[in-house]
Amino acid sequence: MIRLMRADLVRLVKSRAFGLSLAGMLALSAAFMVMQATAMDYSVPLSRVIFLPMSMYGVAAAALVSVFAGDDFSGGFIRMKLLAVRRRSSYVLSQIFVSCTACAALYTAATVFTAAIGRFFFENNVMASDLVRFYLLGVSMSLTCGALFAAVTLLLGEKTRAVVVCMASAFGMLFLAMHTNSLLVQDRYKDGVLNPKYVGGIRRMVYGILHDLNPCGQAAQLSTWEVPHPIRVLLLNLLLTAALTVLCCRLFERKNIN
Amino acid sequence: MDFVFQTEGLTKRYGNFLALDGLSMHVQGGAIYGFVGRNGAGKTTLIRLLCGLQEPSSGSFTLFGVQSGSRDMADARRRIGAVVETPALYMDMTAEENLRQQYLILGLPSYEGIRELLQLVGLSDTGRKKVRHFSLGMKQRLGIAVALAGDPDFLVLDEPANGLDPQGIVEIRELILKLNRERQVTFLISSHILDELSRLATHYGIIDHGRMVRELSAGELEAECRKCLHLEVTSISVLSRLLDGMGLDYKILSDTEADVYARVSPTDLVLALSAENCQVLSMQEKDQNLEGYFLSLVGGDAS
């Protein structure tokens, strides 16, 4: 497994998909900063800018992982890898590890870039401890994205289908996050009266869990610098990453490879 | 006999389609085994099972003496190099980077030998050119180089001549013969180019509809394909006596049929038989090559 990880990490660094995703996220970060600095008629604090590019992170991660992991299938190198490993699960674990690393690197690069540039243009209201806390939550979010898209790609076993399904999933998660976010941000009272759009009780709890479970929902929370249940988010991410890894190992074990 | 790879009743089913139907084959150590069959006969399926890309539905095989399903199969598979269908390559890497990937995957201690491999397959001057810009033949040769990384004892090549120009085909043939003679690498080669295969193979396996139709050595094939005169006569004993008297090599096929492996004047033979009261019912000159032999076994179009 270590051999495959080393090989894939070397490949990741040279990968066009990684370079393009990175460039895309940095360009997106720059565009968001310009928009926030110029289009708003009020002073935007740095905290509201740092994680803003993460709203499109799911789509970038889906493209990166499906193309990178899918290259093994389209190029046929998976055959050489399966010949070289003792168990197929070693291949799955190495792919998920490298995909998670790629997603975490993409996330880190975009966050560091936005924070480093943004502090010159926005009011710096960021406490270092909060930044570290939110950054780590974002890392767990990126691990979930990596595991999810890697599992989808490996189980589909074909690059083009993987790219389509992963991108569709990413947009699906994005729209779901927008929906759940619009429900959860409603105040209970509006102008002194009960807000009819406010969702309470069990439904609020279910929407809350759904929002926390969805990486794009987490990105929405990070971008507003408000994460009401950080421990729950962290646990859900770890649980989802572990479950996806185990499931993918089990299903991939008996998959026919062409 | 020392078999590198042998199968016993190997079956692979995809839904209702039976790709391999109780296939039994035997690849001897040091052999160049030509695996011949039409499209969809089951050649690539067998190679996929051998490489562990798919699991057999039933039956078993041994690889370097290790039984399929055994824990040691992974070690046995590490002694294989393979090009299955298309060469295994990363398109956005150079030839050297692809080989470096394979070296890392195999856990080889250094990149020594990469230049030699590139030279061996005639790709040492490709420099920074990405594989996506390679011709089909160059990709095929690089695929073989990748399969050769780590000095495998058994090389499985699925249609290695695909996309190669005549010069490339000759180079790959010479490479295979060189590896077989100098490093005792065993080869399993599936190919449609039967004429090319017949210049290489020491053994043949002819597969049709997932079943092994015939396994034979190159010597046996040569004997079966020898140029001969096929005779159908009323008395095989008369023919036999006459041919013995002439000191000619022949093979009796039935009570009325025989093949005569020698240059003989048909007129003289007919007259001699007629003098012994034996009539010639038919006479036909047979001159088969591997392609003709293959067609005679499986029938129809070789494609």
Mean of the pLDDT values across residues A95-105?
A: 95
Residue B248 pLDDT greater than 90, yes or no: no
Transcribe B165-217 into DSSP letters: -HHHHHHHHHHHHHHHHHS--EEEEE-S-HHHHTTT-SEEEEEETTEEEEEEE
Any idea which of A126-140, A220-234, B260-274 has the lowest mean pLDDT?
A: B260-274
Mean of the pLDDT values across residues A21-34?
A: 93
Residue B162 pLDDT greater than 80, yes or no: no
Residue A2 pLDDT greater than 70, yes or no: yes
Alpha helices by DSSP H, listed for chain A, are 2-14, 16-39, 47-50, 57-75, 77-84, 88-118, 128-156, 159-184, 201-213, 215-223, 230-253
Residues 6+ apart with CB under 8 A from A47: A125, A126, A130, A225
Residue B60 pLDDT greater than 60, yes or no: yes
Q: Do B90 and A84 touch (CB under 8 A)?
A: no
Nearest CA-CA distance, residue B112 and chain A, Å:
17
The closest alpha carbon to A6, from B146, B89, B112, B105, belongs to: B105
DSSP character at residue A206:
H
pLDDT in the model for residue B268: 85
Any idea which of A53-67, A209-223, B23-37, B195-209 has the lowest mean pLDDT?
A: B195-209
Nearest CA-CA distance, residue A163 and chain B, Å:
17
Burial class of residue A10 (count of CB atoms within 10 Å of its CB; 0-12, 13-18, 19+): middle
User: Which one has a higher pLDDT value, A13 or B167?
Assistant: A13
Q: Do A256 and B54 touch (CB under 8 A)?
A: yes
Minimum-distance CB partner of A4 among B77, B87, B105: B105
Q: Do B89 and A76 touch (CB under 8 A)?
A: yes
Q: Do B101 and A11 touch (CB under 8 A)?
A: yes
Residues of A whose CB is below 8 A from B74: 85-87
Q: How confident is the model at residue A245 (pLDDT cuts 50, 70, 90)?
A: very high
Minimum-distance CB partner of B102 among A16, A80, A254: A80
DSSP character at residue A197:
T
pLDDT tens digits for range B31-42 = 999 998 888 888
Any idea which of A13-22, A33-42, B25-34 has the lowest mean pLDDT?
A: A33-42
Q: How confident is the model at residue A248 (pLDDT cuts 50, 70, 90)?
A: very high
Residue B290 pLDDT greater than 90, yes or no: no
Q: What is the mean pLDDT of chain B?
A: 87
Any idea which of A132-136, B45-49, B259-263 has the lowest mean pLDDT?
A: B259-263
Percent of chain B at pLDDT > 90 equals 32
pLDDT in the model for residue A135: 93
Residues of B whose CB is below 8 A from A76: 84-89
C-alpha–C-alpha distance, residues B273 and A159, integer Å = 71
Residue B45 pLDDT greater than 70, yes or no: yes
CA A126 to chain centre: 22
Q: Do A84 and B78 touch (CB under 8 A)?
A: yes
Q: How confident is the model at residue B303 (pLDDT cuts 50, 70, 90)?
A: very low
Contact of B225 with B201, CB cutoff 8 Å: no
How many CB atoms lie under 10 A from the CB of residue B117? 21
Residue B301 pLDDT greater than 70, yes or no: no
Percent of chain A at pLDDT > 90 equals 63
Q: What is the mean pLDDT of chain A?
A: 90
Mean of the pLDDT values across residues A79-96?
A: 92
Task: Write down the pTM of the prediction.
Answer: 0.83
Mean of the pLDDT values across residues A184-191?
A: 82
Residues 6+ apart with CB under 8 A from B283: B229, B230, B231, B232, B266, B270
CA dist B164 → B136, B158, B167, B173 (Å): 7, 13, 8, 11
Work out whether the CA dihedral B156, B161, B163, B164 comes out positive or negative: positive
Which residue in A14, A74, A83, A253 has the most chain B C-beta atoms within 10 A of its own C-beta, making it the best mutation to test that interface? Answer: A83
Mean of the pLDDT values across residues A8-13?
A: 92
Tokens of A63: 């493209």
pLDDT in the model for residue A119: 85
Mean of the pLDDT values across residues B87-91?
A: 91
Which residue in the block uniquely carries the two structure tokens 């004892």? B153
pLDDT in the model for residue A152: 96
Minimum-distance CB partner of B80 among A3, A83, A86: A83
Ordered by start, the domain boundaries in chain B are 3-222, 226-287
Q: How confident is the model at residue A104 (pLDDT cuts 50, 70, 90)?
A: very high
Per-residue burial over A136-146, b if 16 or more Cβ lie within 10 Å, else e, is: ebbbbbbbbbb
Which residues of chain B approach chain A closer than 8 Å at the C-beta?
14, 48, 51-55, 74, 77-78, 80, 82, 84-93, 97, 100-102, 104-107, 146-147
Torsion, Cα of A184, A189, A190, A195 (10° steps): 60
pLDDT in the model for residue B1: 61
pLDDT in the model for residue B300: 58
How many CB atoms lie under 10 A from the CB of residue B195? 10
Residue B302 pLDDT greater than 70, yes or no: no
Nearest CA-CA distance, residue B177 and chain A, Å:
23
Which residue in the block uniquely carries the two structure tokens 């008369």? B238
Q: How confident is the model at residue A170 (pLDDT cuts 50, 70, 90)?
A: very high
Burial class of residue B166 (count of CB atoms within 10 Å of its CB; 0-12, 13-18, 19+): exposed
Percent of chain B at pLDDT > 70 equals 98
Q: Do B101 and A258 touch (CB under 8 A)?
A: no
CA A251 to chain centre: 23
B10 forms bridges with which residues in the sheet? B23
Q: Say which CATH architecture domain B226-287 belongs to.
A: 2-Layer Sandwich (3.30)
pLDDT tens digits for range A132-154 = 999 999 999 999 999 999 999 99
Mean of the pLDDT values across residues B193-221?
A: 86
Residues of B whose CB is below 8 A from A6: 104
Contact of B10 with B42, CB cutoff 8 Å: no
Minimum-distance CB partner of B53 among A10, A82, A84: A82
Alpha helices by DSSP H, listed for B78-191, are 95-106, 114-120, 136-148, 166-182
By DSSP bridging, strand B154-158 and strand B186-190 are: parallel
The closest alpha carbon to B193, from B209, B217, B170, B213, belongs to: B170
pLDDT in the model for residue A219: 92
On the CB side of B137, CA atoms within 13 Å amount to 12
Mean of the pLDDT values across residues A51-75?
A: 92
Mean of the pLDDT values across residues A213-227?
A: 90
Q: Does domain B3-222 have CATH number 3.40.50.300?
A: yes
- State the angle between helix axes of A159-184 and A201-213 in degrees (0 to 180), rounded to the nearest 10: 140
How many CB atoms lie under 10 A from the CB of residue B215? 16
Minimum-distance CB partner of B104 among A3, A15, A258: A3
Which residues of chain A approach chain B closer than 8 Å at the C-beta?
3-4, 6-7, 10-11, 14-16, 71, 74-87, 254, 256-258
